Chains A and B, each alone.
Chain A
Amino acid sequence: MANKRALTVRSTRFYNGLTNWLRSPVHLIGLAALLFLAYTIAWPVMKILYTTFLWRQQDVRLTGEANPGHFTLYHWTRVLASDMSMNLFYKPILNSLGVGFAVSALSMLIGCGLAWLVVRTNVPWKKTIAFLAVIPYLLPSWIISQAWLTFFKNGKIGGTPGIMEALLHVSPPDWLSYGFVPIVVSLSIHDSVFFFLIVGAALSSMNSQLEEAASVTGAARWTILRRIVFPLVLPSILSGFILIFTKAISSYGVPALLGTPVNFYMISTMLYSSMRSRLTTEANVLSLTLMIISMLTIYLNQRVVGRRKSFVTVTGKDSARTLTSLGRWRYPAAGTAAVVMILISVVPLLVLLFQSFMLKEGVYSLSNFTTHYWWGGSDPDINTGEKGVLHNDIFMLALKNSLYIAGVASVIAAVIGLVLGYVVARGRQSWIGRMVDQVSFLPYLIPGISLAAIYISMFAKPTLIIPALYGTITLLILITVVKELPFTVKAGSASMMQIGKELEEAAQISGASWFTRFRRILLPLNQKSLMSAFLLVFIGAMKEMELIILLITPRTETLTTITFYYAEKGYEQLTNVILMIIIAIVITVYFLAVKFGKADLTQGIGGQ
């Protein structure tokens, strides 16, 4: 009897404990998020991990010992401890880590500098600078590396001499022309906008009373920056750091172009090689090593951020935001920033635009001007009769699909990112928050092709409640959302971390449900971060290639698949036309977002 009672008490207590635990929105949403992540990310990663411990039929090619279907450590030994390891793994991984850290550091410098200038100072032309900062990300990263080669290449890779060599008659050394340095610079130029937006959002939601208080007590400007501003935006900086680090070590196009001439291989280029040579398991092992490395960095990040008490800068109290005056440096600073950014973003853009109107590449005369590549009919002398882009039969369909996928995916991705970011930020002391943080970070490191291939198997047949999605646009949207989670969740959590709990608590006391709180308080306060997430995912989705190419069916052609076709045939101008159209669309979306979404990246949240 007493026994039974004790049991009842215990089970009641357990039941109460559970309901209490579940009553917390962080836990409930966290569980739902984990379920989603488990199916869309963890499960594919498990599948990849599983294959690395099995012999496959293909492995008979590598060794006679292969026994298809049975357990083996061969693949891991081959990569980590064989006579191949040095060139297959250790040298590439050192290169990857080096590039990863250098790109993150350089992007931090560029991104934070710009963000501070635009958000916290009285520099003029803010909107222009903020807009220019996004443009390098609009360009495909290989265009930036191509531009680098045009300037700095030396005789090693032949062809027409580089501009530097032609003007100065000095041959640039190999280290300047190829390998580490140009890869780091190209990737930093391309990706530092992530830093700019994440840190910019954090800076702008920071209450300047903190700075003023310090100023009143006599702290120097540098001290304020170091002791107040920096610690407060630390979570954002760390987020940006990890994000850029991961993007850099997983990038393929730039290292392939700039690294190959000097035998500079990274894990990503090796991985691509394994993939193309159909040594799939080797590719899987390599991608898992990248995942392990980034999970370690995230763990370290959680240790750093988790220990700190609060980064809250948005509280219930409103206050005016005062800007740091640059004094007589106002115009020089703005001028330098604008000129540099025009050089690295607007110039390549204009070159591409001109090229799309040139009949023959590189011939600068009026007679060479043509609109053929835009809306010309079929002319057997040009591109073996290929019509202009606007006359391409599937252009309208592809444009519609691209817009639809990018539009829907970026809205969903931004909101999911914010919700998961909420879980990460509020639950950063609990396992749920950390899990969501870790798992949501993997998609950047799963090679797009592997992820897409696994998604075909997962979504070709209806399973449980999920219908067969393969061949539908929904699957393309889903994979785009998943692939961008690392960024959206990071942006979301960095921004959520600054919003005080008491705002929510106040609403909760007055009886607002979680949904109302989210819609009425969190959404508006995170609007800026939300908009930048939306914008960057939109750009990414418009440019996306490798992820989509496997999942596409003729019905779901997108702009990038047309680009793929043109590029393969060597129709450079036509490729440029598509690129210009994509860029024009993104710029339009940007201005619409600024105008109607109030996504002004230069204004604060607390102030006005």
Chain B
Amino acid sequence: MLNRFPKKKPALVLLTAVSAMTIMSACGADNSSNTLSNAVPTDPPASTDTNANASTAPAADASSAPAAESVDDLYAKAKEDGKLIVYSTSGRANDAAETFMKQYPGIKVEVSKVKSDEMMDKVSKEQDAGQFNPDVIITKEVSGAVEEEMVMTGRYLKYLPEDIAPMVDEPYRTQAEAYANYVEFRTLFYNKSTYAEAPVTNWWDLTTPEFKGKVYTADPLSSPAFMDLFTTMVINSDDMAAAYKEKFGKDIVLNGTDNAGYEFIQELFDNGLIVLKGSDDVLDAIGKAKSDALGLAVSGDVSKNEEKGWTIAPIYDIKPKTSVPDSGYFFIANKAPHEAAAKLFIRWMMGEKEGTGEGLAPFNEVGSWVPRSDVKTKNDISFESLNLWLFDGDALYKTAPKVRDFWIKQK
């Protein structure tokens, strides 16, 4: 089914990307975020953060570093420190750390696994108390709160090695809050033993009698990333309205809701949406035994198929858009005590300059995409051909609580 997607010409993508980058750099760097980069030192941390004792601006430290940081230089410096502290939301960091320590002996990597929202609390409190513990931060967004509360305040710093940057796909090169080494998203899954191909092509299909009481989702109240998808639908309600018209051939009529995004949520509930605790529960529900139901889960879960005994497949093309990206961002922490090692480790996880390094392997999996034009994905569909909404952190941050309220009122 996937050859339906015409692959975009890579040259065109590159051209667009390069021109976008030129425009961006011409207009000066994006000053909504802090950048820690060896060659393009940008503005010091935003002064909005009154708590962090910013007597020495970390970005300024970085700018005093030699213009071209070679891997050898970094390794030499990193070896002096001898260690590296990583806070990560994903266990992939542990896998990368193991290969890293083989490649660069003499640097001990210690990984702490923390949930993204808890990591925000942990790092904020630590930094406010003058403790600067982590070097590398690997985190997902929390409805735009990471950008708003951590990136803009200079607690997490953006870092993208200059020599690798040209190969990175947008928005992760310049537009997003930071570089993300892997991108997942929430989408619908179906049972392969029931359906030969994807049973739906439009989100509005879920509101039809055919799927009454047959749609599962993980609880967006306890997993904000699920709510982000619904919030994005509210933000892009015009898209949802257009998709409604395409599906039913008439304009949408709102039943007391504000726009087509909210209307979709309400109709989903009216059609007997079943909420379960987590992503795994959803895939158990549709994938453990023969089932004609559909479930909303994380694209990366497809890699657990064998392990869990599921027969599930994700749908990668839904109208108006399949989903919104859930990106695994890389940052360097403010005043990272082992900066050279941090940079070296980030390079390693990116697969080094050529994108072929072993450190990339845990991130380049089925169901997740590495947004680098020179990295071959394990999925049948390339990152550029995924039909995704843009992750609009600012809009999400402001809209998410309202959509959450709306969701709670449906109960």
- Chain B residues near A360: list those with CB within 8 A: 309
A278-B142 CB under 8 A given contacts A62-B401, A157-B281, A457-B125:
yes
Please pick, from B122, B275, B277, B293, the residue contacting A550 in the complex, using a CB distance under 8 A.
B122
The smallest beta-carbon distance between A509 and chain B, in angstroms, is: 52
Q: Of A158-166, A207-215, A515-523, which stretch is located at the interface?
A: A158-166
Q: Is the CB of A159 within 8 A of B129?
A: no
> What is the bound-complex CA distance between A257 and B142, given in angstroms?
22
Contact of B274 among A83, A91, A256, A261 (CB under 8 A): A261
Chain A 153-192 per-residue mask, 1 if CB under 8 angstroms from chain B, else 0: 0001111110000000000000000000000000000000
For the complex formed, measure the closest distance between the CB of B275 and the CB atoms of chain A, giving whole angstroms. 5
How far, in whole Å, are A110 and B118 apart by their CA atoms in the complex? 38
Closest to A569 in B: B91
Tell me the nearest residue of chain B to A263, going by C-beta. Answer: B411
Considering the chains assembled together, what is the distance between the CA atoms of A69 and B287 in angstroms? 49
Tell me whether A276 and B224 are in contact in the complex, defined as CB-CB below 8 angstroms, given that A457-B129, A460-B125, A570-B308 are known contacts: yes
Contact across chains for B285 and A158 when beta carbons are under 8 A apart: yes
Find out whether the CB atom of A456 lies under 8 angstroms from the CB atom of B125. Answer: yes
Complex Cα distance, B308 from A7, in Å, reads 82
Q: How far does the alpha carbon of A211 sit from the alpha carbon of B275 in the complex, in Å?
A: 55
Complex interface residues of chain B between 373 and 396 (CB less than 8 A to chain A): none
Q: Nearest CB to that of B286 among chain A residues?
A: A158
CA distance A107 to B128 in the complex (A): 44
A384 within 8 A of B: yes
Asked if B110 and A453 make an inter-chain contact with CB atoms under 8 angstroms apart, the answer reads no
Assess the A157–B142 pair: CB atoms within 8 A. no
A549 is an interface residue with CB less than 8 A from chain B: yes
Report yes or no: B113 in contact with A568, Cβ–Cβ below 8 A.
yes
- Per the 8 Å Cβ criterion, residues 268-299 of B in contact with A are 274-277, 280-281, 284-289, 291, 293
A554 at the interface (CB under 8 A from B): yes
A277-B125 contact given A263-B411, A272-B222, A461-B130, CB 8 Å threshold? no
Tell me the smallest distance from the CB of A92 to a CB of chain B, in Å.
10
In whole angstroms, how far apart are the Cα atoms of A61 and B227 in the complex? 15
Residues A555 and B110 in contact, CB atoms below 8 Å apart: yes
Q: A263-B411, A272-B222, A549-B118 are in contact. Are A277 and B126 (CB under 8 A)?
A: no
The number of residue pairs between A and B whose CB atoms lie closer than 8 Å in the complex comes to: 152
Contact between chains at B125 and A273 (CB < 8 Å) = no
Q: Does B223 contact A (CB under 8 A)?
A: yes
Q: Please name all residues of chain B whose beta carbon is closer than 8 Å to the beta carbon of A470 when the two chains form the complex.
A: 126, 129, 131
Shortest beta-carbon distance, B119 to chain A, in Å? Answer: 9
Interface string of A353-376 (1 = CB under 8 A from B): 000000011100000000000000
Whether the pair B397, A456 counts as a contact (CB closer than 8 A) is no
| CB of A552 closer than 8 Å to a CB of B | yes
Give every chain A residue within 8 A of B113 (Cβ-Cβ).
Answer: 561, 564-565, 568
Q: Are A570 and B304 in contact (CB under 8 A)?
A: yes
Verify if A250 is at the interface (C-beta below 8 Å from B): no
- Which of B85, B95, B142, B219 has the most chain A CB atoms closer than 10 A to its own CB? B219
B156 proximity list for chain A (CB < 8 A): none
Give which listed residue, B94, B276, B293, B308, contacts A260 with CB less than 8 A. B276
Contact A265 B411 (CB under 8 A): yes
**Once the chains are docked, how many angstroms separate the CA of A564 from the CA of B276?**
20
Residues of chain A within 8 A (CB-CB) of B145 are 58, 278
Out of B90, B112, B129, B401, name the residue touching A554 (CB < 8 Å).
Answer: B112
Question: CB within 8 Å of A: which of B195-217?
Answer: 216
Are the C-beta atoms of A570 and B397 separated by less than 8 Å?
no
The docked-state distance in angstroms from the alpha carbon of A553 to that of B149 is 22
Q: Cβ of A261: which chain B residues have Cβ within 8 Å of it? A: 274-276
Q: B130 and A273: CB pair below 8 A?
A: no
Residues from 201 to 256 in B contacting A, C-beta threshold 8 Å: 216, 219, 221-224, 227
Given contacts A269-B222, A272-B222, contact A278 B308 (CB under 8 A): no
Verify if B398 is at the interface (C-beta below 8 Å from A): yes
Instruction: Tell me how far the C-beta of B301 lies from the nearest C-beta in chain A, rounded to whole angstroms.
Output: 8
Identify the interface centre among A87, A383, A554, A565: most chain B CB within 10 Å of its CB: A554
Per-position binary interface string of chain B over residues 115-150, scored 1 when its CB falls under 8 Å from any chain A CB and 0 otherwise: 101101110011011110100000000110100010
Which A residues are in CB contact (< 8 Å) with B402?
Answer: 62
Cβ of B405 within 8 Å of any chain A Cβ, yes or no, is yes
By size class, the interface of chain A is 35 or more
Which of A84, A156, A384, A570 is in CB contact (< 8 Å) with B280? A570
Docked pose: A203 CA to B284 CA in angstroms: 47
Cα–Cα, bound, A57→B307 (Å): 44
- B27 CB, min distance to chain A CBs, angstroms: 27
Known A158-B293, A260-B275, A555-B110: A456·B126 in contact at CB below 8 Å: yes
Interface centre among B133, B149, B216, B404 (most CB of A within 10 A): B404
Do the beta carbons of A87 and B408 come within 8 Å of each other? yes
Which of A277, A361, A453 meets B401, CB within 8 Å? A277
Q: Are A273 and B222 in contact (CB under 8 A)?
A: yes
Q: Verify if B164 is at the interface (C-beta below 8 Å from A).
A: no
Q: Is B111 an interface residue (CB 8 A)?
A: yes
B398 & A61 in contact (Cβ 8 Å cutoff): yes
Cβ 8 A contact of B121, one of A87, A157, A550: A550
Q: Which of A253-288 contact B (CB under 8 A)?
A: 256-257, 260-261, 263, 265, 269-270, 272-273, 275-279
Do A277 and B112 touch (CB < 8 A)? no
| B409–A565 CB distance below 8 A | no
Q: Which residues of A contact B126 (CB under 8 A)?
A: 456, 460, 470
Contacts of A60 in B (CB 8 A): 398
Instruction: Decide: B276 and A554 in contact? CB cutoff 8 A.
Output: no
CB closest chain-A residue, reference B121: A453
Asked whether, in the complex, the Cβ of B288 is within 8 Å of the Cβ of A159, the reply is: yes
Is B133 a contact partner of A453 (Cβ separation < 8 A)? no
Residue contact A273 to B221, C-beta cutoff 8 Å: yes
Q: What is the CA–CA distance of A159 and B191 in the complex, to the nearest angstrom?
A: 11
Question: Judging by beta carbons under 8 Å apart, are B289 and A157 in contact?
Answer: no
Interface flag for B400 (CB, 8 Å): yes
Closest to A564 in B: B113
Beta-carbon nearest neighbor of B129 in chain A: A460
> Is B411 in contact with A61, judged by CB distance below 8 angstroms?
no
Which of chain B's residues have a CB closer than 8 A to the CB of A159?
Answer: 284-289, 291
In the complex, how many angstroms separate the beta carbon of B358 from the nearest chain A beta carbon?
12
In the complex, A561→B130 CA distance in Å?
A: 25
Closest chain-B Cβ to A66's Cβ sits at a distance in Å of: 11
CA distance A426 to B200 in the complex (A): 70
What's the nearest-Cβ distance from chain A to residue B300, in Å? 10
Known contacts: A278-B142, A456-B129, A554-B110. The answer to whether A383 contacts B91 by CB under 8 A is no
Complex formed: what's the CA distance from A83 to B405 in Å?
A: 10
Query: Does the CB pair B408–A88 fall under 8 Å?
Result: yes
Residue of A nearest to B122 (CB): A550
Q: Is A277 a contact of B224 with CB atoms below 8 Å?
A: yes
Over the window 233-251 of chain A, the binary record of Cβ atoms lying under 8 Å from chain B Cβ atoms (1 yes, 0 no) is 0000000000000000000
- For the complex formed, measure the closest distance between the CB of A429 and the CB atoms of chain B, giving whole angstroms: 41
User: Taking the nearest CB of chain B, how far is it from the CB of A312, in angstroms?
Assistant: 48
B274 cross-chain contacts in A, Cβ below 8 A = 156-157, 261
Q: Whole-angstrom distance between the alpha carbons of A260 and B219 in the complex?
A: 8
B residues near A270, Cβ cutoff 8 Å: 221
Using CB atoms and an 8 Å cutoff, list the residues of chain A in contact with chain B.
57-58, 60-62, 83-84, 87-88, 91, 156-161, 256-257, 260-261, 263, 265, 269-270, 272-273, 275-279, 360-362, 383-385, 449, 453, 456-457, 460-461, 470-471, 549-550, 552-555, 561, 564-565, 568-570
Q: Told that A265-B411, A279-B404 touch, could you supply 19 new A-B pairs with CB distance under 8 A?
A: A58-B149, A61-B401, A88-B408, A158-B216, A159-B289, A256-B277, A260-B275, A263-B275, A273-B221, A278-B224, A361-B309, A362-B309, A385-B95, A457-B129, A461-B130, A470-B129, A550-B121, A550-B122, A569-B91
22 pairs of residues in contact across A and B, judged by CB atoms under 8 Å = A60-B398, A84-B408, A87-B411, A157-B216, A158-B285, A159-B291, A256-B277, A260-B275, A265-B411, A269-B222, A273-B221, A277-B401, A453-B125, A457-B125, A460-B125, A460-B126, A460-B129, A550-B122, A554-B110, A554-B111, A568-B90, A570-B280
Q: Which 7 A-B pairs have the closest CB atoms?
A: A158-B285, A460-B129, A554-B110, A456-B125, A273-B221, A159-B288, A159-B284
